[in-house]
Amino acid sequence: NGSPPSPINHISCMMAASRFVLQQRRLLHPGIITFAATIAVIQSSSCASAYFLPSLTSHHRQRHRHCHHQLMSASSDATTGNEGNSFIDKLALILINSDNKQLVARSYGKPVFYTPGGKREAGETDEEALVRECKEEISVDLKSSTKVAARIEPYGVFQAQAFGKPEGTMVRMTCFRVLPREAELELEKLVQPSAEVEELQWINSTFDNKMLTVTGIMIVDDLKKRGLID
């Protein structure tokens, strides 16, 4: 019927109770409709939000990336929501290996693993920022390291309390995958921790949640539900 999918994947946040109100907008562009989530935070219940971008045909990928970048870049990396909560915008790569495990990273001196990625720099598109961050963290170029031509596709947007930040500081993580599967499997053999990353691990749904960020837990749970990891 043209309406975007409902928020799913609710979990208990490791913070004082928060309630998320998901307000959906549609951005019209010639030949394509993309969806964005504007999320207001009200301190009252305990849940986190996940919003999934619709699948796109190859004909529309370039336009989608342009529209999505315009929409997600409308705010700075750390902005203030309607309820006075801070939002940190990040991009992340979901990489799945031949054993159906997801790649996560841990920075030096940090107790938990996170999904590789980071913040945009001024003037960058989502794709450019993700490629740069992956070079810096896992030592691969998503567009040129593989023999099979790779493309970067949107997966979903996850939002929850930011790890190590004051209560009410939320991280909004826009996630992507590398396709086709052959290119993704090539990257499996190429990833290495960079100088700023102490450890990389391949995990499945049995991994200790205490060792993951809240958004990391949400991503693992969704990958399991979709049958992408064990």
Q: Using 50, 70 and 90 to split pLDDT, how confident is the model at 87?
A: confident
Nearest to 73 by CA among 31, 6, 125, 132: 125
Whole-structure pTM value = 0.67
- pLDDT tens digits for range 28-70: 333 322 333 333 332 223 335 554 544 433 433 443 443 333 3
Nearest to 117 by CA among 140, 148, 151, 86: 140
What is the DSSP track for 146-173?
A: SSSPPEEEEEEEEEEEPTTS-TT-EEEE
At residue 57, the pLDDT reads 38
At residue 39, the pLDDT reads 32
At residue 169, the pLDDT reads 83
Beta bridge partners of 49: 159
- pLDDT tens digits for range 174-196: 999 999 999 999 999 999 999 99
Strand 197-203 vs strand 151-161: parallel, antiparallel, or unpaired?
unpaired
Name which of 30-39, 65-74, 126-135, 220-229 the model is least confident about: 30-39
Residue type, 196: E
At residue 118, the pLDDT reads 95
Tokens of residue 147, six digits: 């023999």
- Buried/exposed 158-183: b ≥16 CB within 10 Å, e otherwise: bbbbbbeeeebbbbbbbbbbbeeeeb
- CA pair distance 144, 134, nearest whole angstrom: 12
